[in-house]
C-alpha cells in the first residue's frame, strides 16, 4: 500500500475520530452541565429545608424570650425573623418553579400550613403579652398546641429534605453516569487519535484532561468520605472541567459549613446541659459556701475561656465580699464598695472592653482585657455580683456568650436570695427577736444532744433582779434596753466557751460544756460582777445599775442532764430567796452552803 494511501487513510480516520471525539465532548459537556444543575438544585432544596427549620426555631425562641423577659430587642428580632419568613416564602415559590415532585410539593404546602399556624399562635401570644396578659402569652408559646405545630413543622421540613435529597441525588447520579460514560468514550477516541499524532495529542490529553480528572477523582473520593480537609485547587478554566472543579469547591464549602454548624450545635447543647446541671445543684444548696462551690465548679466547664469571681453584698448593701473564684482572674479586686461597680449602679450588665467604648468599673485595673460585671438580683433586690474576664491568649467569648451569662446570673441571684431568706427564717425560728439570743427550743435541743454524751456540762440559770419594778419605774422601752444589755454582756463573756439562751421573761440560761461546777461558779461570779458594775442609760436618762441572781448546776457529776435545768433553777430560787444579787450552786443547797454570796 502506498504511503499516500496510508496517509489518506490516516487522515480520513483522524478526521472521523476528530468528528466523533468532538461529538463525544459536546455530549460530555451537556452531561456535566446537567450534573452541575442537579448539584445546584440539590443544594438549593437542602439549604431551603435547613433555613426553614432554623428560622422556625429561632423565631419561636425570640417570641418566647420576649414574653418571658419583655425586652424589646427580642420583639425586634422576632420581626426580623418574620421578614426572613417572607424571603423563605419567595424561595419556596422559586423551588416550585424547579418542578418538584408531587410529594415534595405536598410537603411544601404542609410546611407553609404549619408555619402559618405557628405564626398565628406566636403573633397572638405577642399581642396578648402587649395587652398585659402575660400568663396567656406564655401558655400559648409553651403550650401543647404550639409544641405540636412546631414538631409537625420540623417533621415536615425533614420529610421534604429527604424527598428532595433522594430525587436530586438520583438526578445527580444519572447526570454523573452520563458524564462519565461520554468522558470514557472521548478518552478512548482521543487515545486512538493520539496513536497517529502522539507528540501533540498526548500533550493535550496529559495536560488538559487526564491530570485534572485524576486530581479531581482523588478529591471527590475524599469528599465522599466527608474528609473536608482536602484542598481543592483553583482552576481558572471555563470549560466543563473548570465547572466540575467549581462544583466540587461549592460541595466542599457546604460540607465544611455543615460540620461547623453541627459542631456549634453540639457545643451549644453541651453548654445548655452544663447550665441545667448547675441550676439543679443551685436549687439544692443549703449554704452560701455550697453555692459558691457549685458556681466555681460549673462556670469553667460552661465557659472555659472566661475566668471569674462571685461576690456577695453585705447586709447594708455597701460592700461586696468574694465568696467564689475560678480560673484565676487577675483584673478585679477581692472586695470593694458597691458604688465602685457600674453594673450595680445601673442595675444592668456592664462591659469594660478593649476599645474603651464605655467607662471602666473602679474595682478593675487598666488592662485591655474585656470584662463583664453582671448584677445578681432577685425580686428587685440586688444580692451580689458575677464577674467574668477573658483569659489572655483565648478567643473573645463575652459578647457571644452574653445571653447565657445573664441567664446564669439570674439563676444564681435567685438561689442566693433564697439562701439569704432561708437564713433569715432560720434565725427567726431559732433566736429571740428582742435579744438575738438562742431561744428555748434551741436550749432543749442542746440538752438532748448533751444527754447522749458522757462529758461534763455546767448550766447557769440567770434572773435579772427586781425587773418588774424596773419596768414600772422607767417604762418597758427601758426594760428592753436592760434585757439587750445583759444579753450582750453574757454573749461577750461566754464567747466561744458555750452558748447563751433566753429561757423566758427576764431569765437566761448559759450552757458551758467541759466546765465543772466550781469553775462554772467562778465564771458566774465574774459575770455577775461585770453586769452589776456598769451603769445604764436610755435616751439621755440615767437608769442606774442592775443586778442578777445566778444558780449553777453540773452534769453528770451533780446528776443527769435530764435534771440539769431543774437543779440550776432550784439554785436560782435559793439565790433569790437569800436576798438576790448572788450566785448559788446546786451542790451547796442541801448542805445549806451558799457559794459567792454578796450582800445586795
Span 241-264, average pLDDT: 81
Average pLDDT over every residue of 84-103: 65
At 240 the pLDDT is: 66
Give me the pLDDT at residue 600, please.
33
Digit-coded pLDDT (tens) for 557-596: 888 888 999 999 999 999 999 889 999 999 877 544 333 4
For 299, other C-beta atoms within 10 Å of its C-beta total 25
Q: How confident is the model at residue 540 (pLDDT cuts 50, 70, 90)?
A: low
Is it the case that residue 9 has pLDDT exceeding 70?
no
CATH class of 301-419: alpha beta
Residue 147: the pLDDT is 79
One-character DSSP codes across 513-562: ET--HHHHHHHHHHHHHHHHTS-EEETTEEEE---EEEEEEEESSSS-GG
Of 209-218, 338-347, 530-539, which gets the smallest average pLDDT? 209-218
Residue 41, pLDDT above cutoff 60: yes
Is residue 554 within 8 Å of 520, Cβ to Cβ? yes
Q: Which residue of the set 122, 240, 506, 574 is catalytic?
A: 506
What is the mean predicted confidence (pLDDT) over 267-294? 87
Domain 3-196 has CATH 3.10.129.10: no
Q: Let me know if 104 is a catalytic residue.
A: no
**Residue 357 predicted with pLDDT over 60:** yes
Residue 85 has pLDDT above 80, yes or no: no
Domain boundaries, the chain: 3-196, 199-230+239-284, 301-419, 440-588
Residue bearing the bigger pLDDT, 502 or 190 = 502
Give per-residue pLDDT as tens, 439-485: 888 888 888 888 778 789 999 999 998 888 777 777 788 788 888 88
Q: Is the peptide bond before 422 cis (omega within 30 degrees of 0)?
A: no
Nearest residue to 95 via CA among 80, 86, 105: 105
> Is residue 272 over pLDDT 80?
yes
- Do the beta carbons of residue 461 and residue 568 sit within 8 Å? yes
pLDDT category at 518 given cuts 50, 70, 90 is: very high
In which band, very low, low, confident or very high, does the pLDDT at 337 lie, cut at 50, 70 and 90?
very high
Q: What whole-number distance in Å separates Cα of residue 420 and Cα of residue 98? A: 64
Query: What average pLDDT does the chain have?
Result: 79
Reported CATH class of domain 440-588: alpha beta
In this structure, the number of other CB atoms found within 10 A of the CB of residue 77 comes to 18
49: Cβ contacts below 8 Å, ≥ 6 apart: 157, 158, 160, 161, 164
Higher pLDDT, 49 or 346: 346
Would you say residue 211 has pLDDT above 80?
Answer: no
pLDDT band at 431 (very low <50, low <70, confident <90, very high): confident
**Spatial contact of 298 and 310, defined as CB atoms under 8 Å apart:** no
Tell whether the model's pLDDT for residue 2 goes beyond 60: no
Task: Tell which wins on pLDDT, 45 or 233.
Answer: 233
Model confidence pLDDT, tens digit, residues 110-154:
777 777 777 788 777 777 777 777 788 777 777 787 778 778 777
Amino acid at each position: 500500500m502506498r504511503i499516500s494511501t496510508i496517509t489518506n487513510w490516516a487522515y480520513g480516520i483522524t478526521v472521523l475520530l476528530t468528528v466523533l471525539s468532538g461529538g463525544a465532548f459536546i455530549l460530555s459537556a451537556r452531561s456535566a452541565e446537567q450534573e452541575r444543575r442537579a448539584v445546584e438544585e440539590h443544594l438549593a432544596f437542602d439549604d431551603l429545608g435547613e433555613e426553614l427549620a432554623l428560622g422556625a426555631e429561632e423565631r419561636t425562641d425570640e417570641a418566647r424570650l420576649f414574653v418571658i423577659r419583655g425586652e424589646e430587642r427580642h420583639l425586634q428580632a422576632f420581626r426580623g425573623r418574620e421578614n426572613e419568613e417572607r424571603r423563605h416564602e419567595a424561595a419556596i415559590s422559586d423551588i416550585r418553579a424547579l418542578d418538584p415532585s408531587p410529594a415534595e410539593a405536598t410537603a411544601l404546602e404542609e410546611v407553609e400550613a404549619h408555619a402559618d399556624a405557628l405564626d398565628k399562635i406566636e403573633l397572638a401570644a405577642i399581642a396578648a403579652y402587649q395587652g398585659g396578659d402575660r400568663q396567656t402569652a406564655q401558655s400559648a408559646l409553651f403550650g401543647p398546641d404550639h409544641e405540636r405545630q412546631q414538631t409537625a413543622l420540623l417533621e415536615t421540613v425533614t420529610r421534604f429534605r429527604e424527598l428532595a435529597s433522594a430525587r436530586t441525588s438520583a438526578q445527580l447520579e444519572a447526570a454523573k453516569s452520563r458524564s462519565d460514560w461520554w468522558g470514557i468514550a472521548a478518552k478512548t477516541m482521543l487515545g486512538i487519535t493520539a496513536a497517529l499524532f502522539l507528540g501533540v495529542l498526548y500533550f493535550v490529553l496529559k495536560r488538559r484532561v487526564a491530570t485534572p480528572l485524576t486530581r479531581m477523582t482523588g478529591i471527590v473520593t475524599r469528599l465522599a468520605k466527608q474528609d473536608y480537609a482536602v484542598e481543592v485547587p483553583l482552576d481558572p478554566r471555563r470549560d466543563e472541567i473548570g465547572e466540575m472543579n467549581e462544583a466540587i469547591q461549592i460541595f466542599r464549602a457546604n460540607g465544611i459549613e455543615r460540620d461547623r454548624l453541627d459542631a456549634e450545635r453540639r457545643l451549644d447543647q453541651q453548654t445548655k446541659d452544663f447550665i441545667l446541671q448547675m441550676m439543679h445543684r443551685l436549687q439544692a444548696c443549703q449554704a452560701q459556701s455550697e453555692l459558691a462551690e457549685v458556681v466555681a465548679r460549673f462556670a469553667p466547664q460552661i465557659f472555659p475561656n472566661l475566668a471569674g469571681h462571685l461576690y456577695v453584698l453585705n447586709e447594708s448593701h455597701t460592700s461586696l465580699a468574694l465568696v467564689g473564684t475560678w480560673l484565676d482572674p487577675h483584673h478585679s479586686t477581692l472586695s470593694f464598695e458597691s458604688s465602685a461597680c457600674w453594673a450595680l449602679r445601673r442595675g444592668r450588665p456592664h462591659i469594660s472592653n478593649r476599645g474603651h467604648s464605655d467607662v471602666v468599673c473602679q474595682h478593675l485595673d487598666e488592662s485591655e482585657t474585656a470584662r463583664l460585671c453582671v448584677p445578681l438580683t432577685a425580686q428587685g433586690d440586688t444580692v451580689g455580683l458575677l464577674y467574668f474576664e477573658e483569659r489572655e491568649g483565648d478567643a473573645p467569648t463575652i459578647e457571644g456568650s452574653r445571653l447565657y451569662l445573664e441567664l446564669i446570673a439570674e439563676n444564681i441571684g435567685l438561689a442566693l436570695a433564697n439562701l439569704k431568706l432561708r437564713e433569715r427564717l432560720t434565725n427567726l425560728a431559732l433566736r429571740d427577736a428582742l435579744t438575738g439570743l438562742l431561744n428555748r427550743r434551741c436550749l432543749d435541743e442542746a440538752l438532748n444532744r448533751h444527754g447522749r454524751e458522757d462529758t461534763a456540762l455546767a448550766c447557769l440559770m440567770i434572773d435579772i433582779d427586781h425587773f418588774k419594778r424596773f419596768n414600772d419605774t422607767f417604762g418597758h422601752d427601758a426594760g428592753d434596753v436592760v434585757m439587750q444589755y445583759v444579753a450582750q454582756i453574757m454573749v461577750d463573756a461566754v464567747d466561744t466557751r458555750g452558748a447563751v439562751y433566753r429561757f423566758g421573761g427576764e431569765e437566761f440560761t448559759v450552757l458551758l460544756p467541759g466546765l465543772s461546777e466550781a469553775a462554772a461558779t467562778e465564771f458566774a461570779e465574774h459575770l455577775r460582777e461585770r453586769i452589776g458594775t456598769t451603769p445604764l442609760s436610755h435616751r439621755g436618762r440615767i437608769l442606774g445599775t442592775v443586778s442578777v441572781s445566778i444558780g449553777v448546776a453540773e452534769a453528770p457529776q451533780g446528776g443527769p442532764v435530764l435534771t440539769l435545768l431543774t437543779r440550776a433553777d432550784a439554785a436560782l430560787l435559793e439565790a433569790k430567796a437569800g436576798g438576790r444579787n448572788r450566785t448559788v450552786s446546786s451542790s451547796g443547797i442541801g448542805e445549806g452552803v451558799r457559794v459567792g454570796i454578796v450582800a445586795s
